[in-house]
Structure 1
Amino acid sequence: MIFKKLLTRITGSAMVATLLISTTPVAATESVINEDGRRTEMTQVQNLLQSYQGGYIESELDNNTPVYDSGISTFAELPLAFPDDASVFDTMYPQARDQNPYGTCWSFASMGLAEYDLINDGAVDKSVDFSELQLAYFAYNFVTDPLGGTVGDIAKYHNENGLSYLQRGGNFVYSSRRLAQWIGPVDESVVPYTRAAGTLDSGLDDKYAYSYSKAHLKNAYEINIHENADEVKANIMEHGAAGVMYYHNDSAMRFYSFDSAGHYTYYDTAKRGSGHAVMLVGWDDNFSKENFPESLRPENDGAWLVRNSWGTYCDYFWMSYDNESLLDTAWVFDFSDDDGLAHNYQLDGGIQVYNTNLTNRLANVFTVPNKADGEYEKLREVSLSFTRIADVGYTIDVYTNLTDPSNPLSGEKQTQATTTGNTAFAGIYSVELAEPVELKPGSTFAVVVSVDKSALDYEQATKIATGDTLLWDRQVSQGNGKSLYYSSGRYRVYPYGNFCIKAFTSDEIRHAEPENELTAKGYSVDLTTLVRANLYAAVSTDIMDDARSMVRFVYPDGTCTDRLLSAFETTEYNNTQVKKITYEAVPAKLTEKVEISVIKSDGTKSNSFAFAPADYLNDLIKTDSDSASKNIAKALLDYGAYAQLYFNVDTSDLANKELTDDAVGALSTEEILKMTVDGNIASMSNDDLEYIGSSLVCRNGTDMKLYFINKNSLALDEILQKYNIDVTNEKTGRLDSSEFSAELDGKLFCIRIKSILPKLLSTDYTITFSNSGVSSYGVVGPYSYIRRAVQGDDIQLRNLCKALYLYGRAAS
């Protein structure tokens, strides 16, 4: 696929210089004064060139980006070109914005990343328009956060001393720091770009910093585009775009429009020109090098599709993979517009960060404001910043009700909230705690972080001047006693700035609830039937008497389902009458905790109980004397873990993490082939249907789908009228209409055998098509598919199928 010029709206023949130059030379040099007194000189010519083309100031994080190696290849399915239809840029996304006449490309690219990500999430549509001016202004002019944690952090830009903040430029570091502080994004209508010139004298009202934000930055990833190009592509597919910086050299006609296809292309051989921020929104591995002018042609095919911020001029263009001035880092921003979080406890209001090297045990201490009766907060997520190191192992602990704010361990450790994990790329990560923590109004709490390498960021102060004139004052609060590090047996105040550890909370209201509405007596997981989790709960008489009482299941992603309590079986458990409350447990989500409560018809909610099926299975392995049950539980935990890895579901908390043996790793392909046979499919096809293969669908049971080419393009009704279809299991006999279905799957005809029990995974099914006394039939089973899969090249699929084989063998 080769993209045509996506949009043809060009305003006359003016060069980009006439569109973007709007300043005159000022002081000869600009300097950065660091906290240790070091002074770094930068030529003012470079800054003027930045305003000429876009205004990107190269940062330390744009080069030498840490390379992340997951150890698992996950890119076999990446297309050679993406997207496959250029019309999405008209139908799905906003048209390219116009930064003219200021050097604000960095802000335009950053807001574009926010818009594209939220569009890809389905949270907004193409009408979304975030304010680039709001981000640019508050990047340079910081406002203390609503909770007051960043008191002492100051950023004040003095436009009157030379180059304005609108022309000085910026970078993705500025954007990521401010957005992580919950400064923006806000709607364009709130702070329109047309007000930019007026802010140079009168500024913006402080209220626009935090009060109008429409989404929260959850994660910011720094991916090495030269070493992890496939990771960049995968993130473009997920988030819509990635932000990059390159040096644009227009003097040698590097931008070029040619031939009837009208491609815009860009290729250079050195870092020349001025810094410019753009968005990568696609790629084409086969984009021919012949599409570039003969006078300046790359050696290899392949190019990135770039979205620009010069309005209709060069709105989209192709940049060769060989481009020399493209810096290392591709920035990916991940936003949420509805995370339920109301407060950002933070101490780091600075815009410059470095990683700590004094300790691997760090803490931030925060105080909760007083609230009205019945109101409180829950700590749900913690944000950690590791912008210079990839693959960081971390443990987060929470201590509440501190008795000594100088000792983060002086409170009550909330063990249920302890969360461990590993980062991937360098960047900023929002980590959901294992369990939320209730915070008492007026109390002090600590977030304690242990890392496996000196990687956590802290804010650092710098001042920027032109000559001896202060241009940008960037102070940070130091030694305030709220950021602490562990050394020589105790926690000490960190002297250089505050750690980039943030705590995100939700607002809660405590409602009066009747006591003992729901009392959990026990729980279990079905092993021999479909995978189901069961809670045995005693409920009070008033609930039982309410015919409209509903059982509510709340899942970790916030979704919930309600079912009538009366629909669940009443039984006895340890001599107590209980309700057996059951829900389907998907193998890939055995570690998922589902919260169960009862809602009465008057809206009153009972106390709740949550458990993960994996917890029960691990307990069973430790305590049950029945070796058969233990074997099934182990096999199910392995199956669940490999399903997590295959479907990429919460892979930091694998279901089999407590098992000491690796049954799947010890199982050879040869053993599976020896213990199974291929299906007998030679006679399954007929005049209308040709069998081509099967697949397995992993649910709480396993569905098997058999696929046939619909040779004569018959409608489903025509097939069912022409053929009688029987499905028979070799052990249980003929299946009824509720146990299988015939359907069309696109152009293919499909027979779906539903919810195969674990003990039947090793059995075969005979499928018979009868028409006027003539029959065709075949024999196939789940193990037929497993035999093929374990001989394939997909390692994760092989392991998943090995685990499914062992699960079926243990259960049969």
Structure 2
Amino acid sequence: MRKKKLSILLSGALLVVSMISYITVQGDLFNESDAYIQTENIMNDSYVGSYVRSGLDNNAPVYVSDITTYAEKVIPSIYPSDISSYKKARPSRNQNLYGTCWAFSSIGLAESDLITKGQRDSSVDLSELQLIHFTYNSVTDPLSGTKGDYSKYYNDNASNSYLNKGGNYEMAVRRLSQWSGVVNESDVPYSNASTVYNNGLDEKYAYGYDVAHLQNAYLINAKKQPDVVKQQIMEHGAVGTSYIHYDNAADYYNNSYYDWQGIVSDGGGHAIMIVGWDDDYSKDNFTTSSKPANNGAWLIRNSWGTYFDYFWMSYETYSLQDNVWVFDMSADDGLDNNYQLDGGLYTATIGYSKAANVFHVSKKDGVDSETLKSVSLSCTQTADVGYTIEIYTDITDTGNPASGTKHEEATTSGRTTYAGIYTIPLEHEVILNPDTYYAVVVTVDKGGFEIEYGYSESTNPGGTDDKMVWENAVSYWDNCEGSYYYNGYNFGKFYYNFRIKAFTSNNVELGDRLEGNTLSMDGKIDMNFYMNLPEKVVNDSGAYMEFTMPDGCVSKKMLSDARVTSDGLYVFSCGISPKQMSDVISARIISNGIKGNIYTYSVKQYAESVFNAADGVYSEEEINAVKAMLNYGAAAQQYFEYNTDNPANSIMSEADRVMDEVAFGTYKGKFVNSDKIEGIGYYGSSLVLQSDTALRNYFQLDTGYDIADYEFYEQQADGTKKIIQPQEADSSLYYIDIDNVKAYELGDNYNIYIKKKSDDATEMMVECGMFVYARYVYQYSDDEALKNLMKAMYHYNNAAIEYFYFFS
């Protein structure tokens, strides 16, 4: 048998918090007079197409932090593995008579992403025409945040239809980020393109029929980071790019394409999707007058129907644009409202380090309140941007975003990766009440702030017969809410609108009402919510209370498991681990799919109510128990390095935070017959400090023995056996838990018995306890934070004993 070993282990969840630093970004990089759309010259031997060049199509900033991560991942040499089946399942679309490749590729990216994630099957068909029409003929969003921003195409003044004018991925991603689409093809079919152009399209299709929302969009340099592009294709189904199609560079027999510098003036006239690759695709398959230097090609999905529908494009194709676009969609994000001020298509970067958008929460029929869940930032020209998002509600001065109540728990920091658009979940959701103003304040460490600006085209600029053809206007001062920049001293109104959005979900009034909170310290630390529930909720067998912790962990307690008080209140309990005593818990009732009001509370708030109560409301024993509990929580925070900036005991005096030293020498364990049970031996102990405090004991099984041949049990005070089922830790190590240890029992010892089922006469007994464990910590460990945690647990136990006997 292996020699017994006493190990000092401590179980518990860890949370790593990364800090960011800030630098000030100076200057104003925006000059509206420099803005223009660059188009391609049509060459006699080429099909330039209708992809309108964007300034974002080349030289995307390279994000380097994840390059090694991608390189370490297994990227196959060919993808997809069964190309024939792939093509059959996803036939290419047909843009037919019009120059709409940009829309077909953009919608194709959305479809591919949803299919790859399993949110839609391969039959999904989304509308290109809806995107095309509302890109050129916009509608104010449902919340009226984009009032004053509009796009209008003047058909009567134009010599060319907007169906042939073209567009690009940047224009598409702006409309999708505004939630103008995507919609099903059956709602706005492409076959109606001519009719829609001549007669218009019902405005209801602009926002009311969307079936998915854009979450994120990334720009990646394919020529500098091809492995990153491949990984994105595997994760999202496709990436979008463009090239110029030269007839003498295409081999229609082999479905291959390669153009070279000698015949290409520039790139980017036709939008396509890259859906796969073959690193070994032979360069000899390109039967052009010049051949690539190396093997390898991208698998391209086109939008010309069955004509050149899928084809192979050499990695070395000269006209292929540097950048590719990645669309990250969601068919069910649980969001109802998009608060935004930017309804325009064109974007510039501003060199401020701090900015804000102020939004108005309108009254909505049947909606009691809204939950602010996430924020969108646009950084399409900058990679690796460090950000901090702050939320202020109940703004008293709409000209000062910081004039409201700051929600510290919602402050969210992080970094972007690639250049692009990001939807960032807040660290903590925030309730927004109707007819109030709130602000999203963002600080960045690079010049990543982006604004919208206007653009127009006319028939004869400056001439007397000048007529508007294409107008993309943006608002300035006409909305009460607006965009603000921070100059180092205060906020000032900005001329243009920042591309900062906020997303909320509606809370429908269920009729539930929180009557109060209590804290339980019997066995485990429970936060209790006392709910007054209407009959319609009580009669719903599937109703439950959902608890959300700041780390995003969600749990629920069914209505059927709630305790009912004598006066008909339903008590829902959420367990708290010692390190979580400063955490604010969010709780809400969910019944028949309807989400009720969100209620928040924390152990720390409960403690404050105890300390601030009038004399005589709480006994000295109660107050001391709460103080000891907070010291215990703060010590756990330090040991686990969790939320250390907000220690549980920070609301106490310095004197109350000081704990007397403890001598654990009197707490001793014992072994009986430890070597007389064949095949198994005691290995060590640990503490599990979750909501349920448990003593975990490990046993090691020798090779050739079966854990099922042994019985484990605890001898209880009344003489009965409590059978305990061992759990496997690894192939030879098993553990059993002494769980639900009450706060006033932390100093007790427990007797664990192990016997071989085939031998009733011989039992091994291990006497152990929390403070036996603590004795070995003090004797063998150099970890001062762990020792301090054991000391805090000791004082918590003593205070709990006094509290228990005072009320018993």
Q: How would you bin the TM-score normalised by the shorter chain?
A: 0.5 to 0.7
Matches within 5 A, 1:178-193: 178-193=175-190
Distance 1:538 1:167 in 2: 61
Match of 1:120 among 116, 122, 129: 116
Q: CA deviation at 1:200?
A: 3.0
Asked if the contact 1:513–1:604 (Cα under 8 Å) also holds between the matched residues in 2, the reply is: no
Matches within 5 A, 1:141-180: 141-160=137-156, 161-180=158-177
Match of 1:62, SS?
A: coil
Structure 2 CA distance for partners of 1:55 and 1:520, relative to 1, 3 Å: farther
- 1:662 corresponds to which residue? none
Match of 2:280 among 268, 283, 286: 286
Cα deviation 1:419-442 (Å, max 9, x = unaligned): 111111111111111222222211
Match of 2:160, SS?
A: coil
Distance 1:282 1:192 in 2: 28
Asked if the contact 2:452–2:474 (Cα under 8 Å) also holds between the matched residues in 1, the reply is: yes
- 2:475 corresponds to which residue? 477
Structure 2 CA distance for partners of 1:344 and 1:515, relative to 1, 3 Å: closer
Q: CA deviation at 1:125?
A: 1.1
- 2:399 corresponds to which residue? 406
Amino acid at match of 2:432: L
Q: CA deviation at 1:279?
A: 0.9
Which range moves more in the overlay, 41-50 or 442-451?
41-50
Match of 2:197, SS?
A: helix
Matches within 5 A, 1:491-502: 491-495=491-495, 497-502=496-501
Matches within 5 A, 1:659-670: none
Distance 1:725 1:294 in 2: 70
Distance 1:433 1:343 in 2: 16
Structure 2 CA distance for partners of 1:44 and 1:318, relative to 1, 3 Å: closer
Amino acid at match of 1:198: T
Matches within 5 A, 1:254-333: 254-258=249-253, 262-269=254-261, 270-272=264-266, 275-293=269-287, 295-333=289-327
Asked if the contact 1:384–1:428 (Cα under 8 Å) also holds between the matched residues in 2, the reply is: yes
TM-score normalised by structure 1 residue count: 0.65
Asked if the contact 2:367–2:506 (Cα under 8 Å) also holds between the matched residues in 1, the reply is: no
Distance 2:193 2:94 in 1: 13
Distance 1:282 1:438 in 2: 44
Asked if the contact 2:377–2:499 (Cα under 8 Å) also holds between the matched residues in 1, the reply is: yes
Distance 1:450 1:197 in 2: 46
Which range moves more in the overlay, 592-601 or 62-71?
592-601
Asked if the contact 2:37–2:53 (Cα under 8 Å) also holds between the matched residues in 1, the reply is: no
Distance 1:492 1:555 in 2: 36
Cα deviation 1:78-130 (Å, max 9, x = unaligned): 32322222255256x53110011111111000100111111122221122111
Structure 2 CA distance for partners of 1:255 and 1:610, relative to 1, 3 Å: farther
Q: CA deviation at 1:354?
A: 0.4
Structure 2 CA distance for partners of 1:396 and 1:757, relative to 1, 3 Å: same
Q: CA deviation at 1:724?
A: 8.3
Flag structure 1 segments of 5+ consecutive residues without an equivalent: 1-33, 526-533, 571-577, 614-618, 638-654, 660-699, 705-722, 743-749, 759-805
Does 2:55 align with 1:60?
A: yes
- 1:31 corresponds to which residue? none
- 2:132 corresponds to which residue? 136
Matches within 5 A, 1:789-808: none
Match of 1:184, SS?
A: coil
- 2:640 corresponds to which residue? 633
Asked if the contact 2:239–2:326 (Cα under 8 Å) also holds between the matched residues in 1, the reply is: yes
- 1:505 corresponds to which residue? 504
Distance 1:292 1:590 in 2: 66
Does 2:528 align with 1:537?
A: yes
Amino acid at match of 2:380: T
Structure 2 CA distance for partners of 1:412 and 1:610, relative to 1, 3 Å: closer
- 2:621 corresponds to which residue? none
- 2:682 corresponds to which residue? none
Distance 1:179 1:170 in 2: 14
Distance 1:518 1:340 in 2: 28
Match of 2:457 among 464, 476, 487: 464
Structure 2 CA distance for partners of 1:752 and 1:382, relative to 1, 3 Å: farther
Match of 1:499, SS?
A: coil
Amino acid at match of 1:414: H
Distance 1:631 1:403 in 2: 38
Amino acid at match of 1:726: D
- 1:74 corresponds to which residue? 69
Sequence identity of aligned pairs in percent?
39
Match of 1:390 among 370, 383, 396: 383
Amino acid at match of 2:277: W
Bigger relative contact order (CA 8 A; separation at least 6): 2
Q: Give the count of matched residue pairs.
A: 618
Amino acid at match of 1:105: C
Match of 1:61, SS?
A: coil
Does 2:254 align with 1:247?
A: no
Amino acid at match of 2:91: Q
Distance 1:215 1:138 in 2: 16
Structure 2 CA distance for partners of 1:518 and 1:593, relative to 1, 3 Å: closer
Flag structure 2 segments of 5+ consecutive residues without an equivalent: 1-29, 566-570, 605-626, 648-689, 714-722, 739-784, 791-808
Structure 2 CA distance for partners of 1:351 and 1:522, relative to 1, 3 Å: farther
Asked if the contact 2:382–2:448 (Cα under 8 Å) also holds between the matched residues in 1, the reply is: yes
Match of 1:74, SS?
A: helix
Amino acid at match of 2:122: K
- 2:100 corresponds to which residue? 104
- 1:787 corresponds to which residue? none
Structure 2 CA distance for partners of 1:657 and 1:47, relative to 1, 3 Å: farther
- 1:29 corresponds to which residue? none
Cα deviation 1:689-748 (Å, max 9, x = unaligned): xxxxxxxxxxx999x9xxxxxxxxxxxxxxxxxx98625999999xx9965799xxxxxx
Q: CA deviation at 1:175?
A: 0.2
Distance 2:165 2:532 in 1: 70
Asked if the contact 1:94–1:128 (Cα under 8 Å) also holds between the matched residues in 2, the reply is: no
Which range moves more in the overlay, 266-275 or 81-90?
266-275
Which range moves more in the overlay, 409-418 or 105-114?
409-418
Does 2:363 align with 1:370?
A: yes
Amino acid at match of 2:510: H
Which range moves more in the overlay, 548-557 or 505-514?
548-557
Cα deviation 1:190-235 (Å, max 9, x = unaligned): 1111111123322222222111111111111111112222222221
- 1:775 corresponds to which residue? none
Matches within 5 A, 1:665-680: none
Match of 2:97, SS?
A: coil
- 1:789 corresponds to which residue? none
Asked if the contact 1:417–1:437 (Cα under 8 Å) also holds between the matched residues in 2, the reply is: yes
RMSD: 5.0
Q: CA deviation at 1:66?
A: 0.8
Distance 1:622 1:422 in 2: 33
Matches within 5 A, 1:193-208: 193-208=190-205
Distance 1:537 1:505 in 2: 27
- 2:82 corresponds to which residue? 85
Cα deviation 1:382-423 (Å, max 9, x = unaligned): 111111111111111111222211111111112222111111
Larger radius of gyration: 2
Structure 2 CA distance for partners of 1:624 and 1:203, relative to 1, 3 Å: same
Distance 1:135 1:48 in 2: 31
Q: CA deviation at 1:73?
A: 2.0
- 1:342 corresponds to which residue? 336
Distance 2:575 2:515 in 1: 20
Distance 2:325 2:471 in 1: 26
